[in-house]
Amino acid sequence: MKFSQLFVSTLKDTPKDATLKSHQYLLRGGFIQQIGSGIYNFLPLGEKLLRKVSDIVREEMNASGAQEILMGFVTPSELWRESGRYEQYGRELLRFKDRKDNEFVLGPTHEEMVTSIAKNSIRSYKQLPVHLYQIHTKFRDELRPRFGLLRGREFIMKDGYSFHSSWEDLDREFQTMELTYKRILERMGVEFKVVEADSGAIGGSGSKEFMVLAPCGEDTIVVCESCDYGANIEIAQRMPRTAPRTNEVKYDSNPPKAAFARFFTPEVKTIESLSEFFKVDTFWILKAIVKKAVRADNSAELAYFFVRGDDEGEDTKMLNILNAKDTFLSLEDASIEEIKAAGLEAGFIGPYGLRHITQSEHIYFDLSLKDANELICGANEKDWHLVGVDLGTFEGLEYVDIAAVKEGDCCPKCAQRLCYSAGIEVGHIFKLGTKYSQALNAHFLNKEGKAEALIMGCYGFGISRILPAILEQKSDELGCVWSKEVSVFDIAIIISNTKDSTQYEFALTLYEELKSQGVDVLLDERDERFGVKMKDFELLGFYSALIVGKALSEGKVEFILREGLQKRELKADRHLSQAIMQALD
């Protein structure tokens, strides 16, 4: 390709509203153009990037035995009603009608559709296992589309679905996919971490996320400093806590010594003010969290959670606990008025008589409170707290994992220190089990000739999201840095002075030669200043460049790797194309 023929226009200035560097560079480099909130056009350079990452994903998926299909983007809502997700999925699901009043959804994910394919085609265990995947557009009406391609509304995903006759075979495929995804990300040249994850709205048991490590990442992942434990904070676990975190001790790490008593605590409502009032560490104070759990039909119920004063509740964990008994879509903080209406006083809530006052089924205690004593808690009466509380004396309390792991907590595997890292989720693999096959009646006949529900796995990879994820990790202050396999061109030959016919002819011959040897090469023969061409190379981030300039008269050219801008002189002789091929390897 010659640069003068390339359909691209780069921008000097940073577009407003683009806060992340990946978003800025993708717009400035003319890879993409925004056409609406969370919707983008891909221009030639952007389309080629998509193709490069899709090819890597496709090659690795095919190599692991999966088969490519293409499913309709527009999905009849009947299928979604059968699975129950038409109501459950919430507002990210775009629902609409055609001229005959038939209802449809724009597929945000395709479990229903692929299960119906399986239902229509799979009869016997002999046809199993099978893994079908597609690389296709998805639509999710995200609440806050942002950061360009990182969180779009319309985006491109690789979604794969596997079908099995046994749980063991699903486990095997799940492991195969973990390895496949690792190979994909290694080829894309990014640092990543595989972590345990929540299964979210898609449902099922057991899931792992693939996180590209980058400071801007929206996901907090908890990693162990000494072993390989890693989990999304949404489900991360820790060893039970027995004392305040050493770095947080303010008063005394020992519990306050007091016989059970009521204390007048006027206007002392927050954990911090209580800690000051009693001169005790927040670890010994019972923190009450009141949430409003909302169902798909907008009905809601209050739920009560208790954690140690120096812990926070983790919304995903709390929601999952509630959903073991009911089906809630989301959690909101309960307002002071709603708390009052339940017969309670915000700031003075405690476990004594709580069930009686609220009649609630949903009262939970964090695991680190199991049989805890010498606590301070609200007395369920304005301006009063109780001191010397022993939870061990209560009967029938439900202890569950609801607190968010903090840095400094201990690893559940090896007891060493846990810390946080920021990640961008680019892949997510799930063991779905029979959730969809049961709902949609997708069965197979087993060896005994009996019908059983198909056992399923599903495997998502963000084709368009991986582009900004790579940039968030690899780009520098000058522009994009793409790894070799993702870069739009392997090399850009930059002619320093196009009016110099020796430079021009030499570059053109080399361009043809490299092309004939299968190198994807861009010839920058534009009638522009050298500085302009160099800036474009730096912004667009092609894997490498070869500068044909003044030094050519001394038989030399300069080879530059974009990553780190490492420079190297090469001899401009008849072995040059070979030397370049070696340098590219």
Residues lying near ligand ATP in the complex (CB under 6 A) are found at: 109, 140, 142, 151-152, 155, 157, 200, 425-428, 460, 462, 464-465
Residues 114, 459: Cα–Cα separation, whole Å: 12
User: Both tokens of residue 508?
Assistant: 């053109």
CB of 140 to ligand ATP, least distance (A): 5
CB of 86 to ligand ATP, least distance (A): 17
CB of 456 to ligand ATP, least distance (A): 15
CB of 463 to ligand ATP, least distance (A): 8
CB of 289 to ligand ATP, least distance (A): 22
Cis peptide before 15 (omega within 30 of 0): no
Q: Reading across the β-sheet that carries 566-571, which strands appear in turn?
A: 521-524, 491-495, 544-548, 556-561, 566-571
Q: Which of these, 438, 432, 441, 425, lies nearest to 459 by C-alpha position?
A: 432
Q: Which is nearer to ligand ATP, 127 or 330 (CB)?
A: 330
Q: Which is nearer to ligand ATP, 46 or 347 (CB)?
A: 46
Q: What share of the chain is helix, strand, coil (3-state, %, to 5)?
A: 30, 30, 40
Neighbours of 138 (CB within 10 A): 21
Q: Which is nearer to ligand ATP, 486 or 494 (CB)?
A: 486
Q: Which is nearer to ligand ATP, 140 or 435 (CB)?
A: 140
User: Both tokens of residue 272?
Assistant: 């911090």
Residues 21, 375: Cα–Cα separation, whole Å: 48
Which distant-in-sequence residues (6+ apart) come within 8 Å of 375 by Cβ? 284, 285, 286, 369, 388, 389, 390, 391
Q: Are 219 and 211 in contact (CB under 8 A)?
A: yes
CB of 151 to ligand ATP, least distance (A): 4
Q: Which is nearer to ligand ATP, 443 or 465 (CB)?
A: 465
DSSP codes joined into one string, 58-110: HHHHHHTT-EE----SEEEHHHHHHHTHHHHTGGGSEEEE-TT--EEEE-SS-
Residue type, 327: T
Residue 433, phi then psi, degrees to nearest 5: 70, -135
Which distant-in-sequence residues (6+ apart) come within 8 Å of 278 by Cβ? 256, 263, 376, 387
Q: Which is nearer to ligand ATP, 350 or 423 (CB)?
A: 423
User: Both tokens of residue 473?
Assistant: 């990790």
Half-sphere exposure at residue 391, Cβ-oriented, CA atoms within 13 angstroms: 25
CB of 104 to ligand ATP, least distance (A): 20
CB of 57 to ligand ATP, least distance (A): 11
CB of 23 to ligand ATP, least distance (A): 12
Residues 379, 345: Cα–Cα separation, whole Å: 9
Q: Which is nearer to ligand ATP, 427 or 479 (CB)?
A: 427
Residues 391, 408: Cα–Cα separation, whole Å: 25
Q: Which is nearer to ligand ATP, 210 or 348 (CB)?
A: 210
What's the alpha-carbon Rg for the chain, to the nearest Å?
Answer: 29
Residue type, 376: I
CB of 549 to ligand ATP, least distance (A): 41
Residues 533, 531: Cα–Cα separation, whole Å: 5
CB of 427 to ligand ATP, least distance (A): 5
Which DSSP letter does residue 292 get?
E
Half-sphere exposure at residue 83, Cβ-oriented, CA atoms within 13 angstroms: 24
Q: Which is nearer to ligand ATP, 29 or 203 (CB)?
A: 203
Cα angle for residues 375, 315, 214 (degrees, 5° grid): 115
Q: Which is nearer to ligand ATP, 145 or 378 (CB)?
A: 145
Residue nearest to ligand ATP (CB): 462
Q: Which is nearer to ligand ATP, 2 or 146 (CB)?
A: 146
Q: Which is nearer to ligand ATP, 157 or 495 (CB)?
A: 157
Residue type, 222: V
CB of 516 to ligand ATP, least distance (A): 38
Q: Which is nearer to ligand ATP, 108 or 541 (CB)?
A: 108
CB of 177 to ligand ATP, least distance (A): 13
DSSP codes joined into one string, 430-476: EEEETHHHHHTT-EEE-TTS-EEEPEEEEEEEETTTHHHHHHHHH-B
CB of 188 to ligand ATP, least distance (A): 13
Residues 549, 321: Cα–Cα separation, whole Å: 66
Q: Which is nearer to ligand ATP, 385 or 465 (CB)?
A: 465
371, containing H or E segment: none
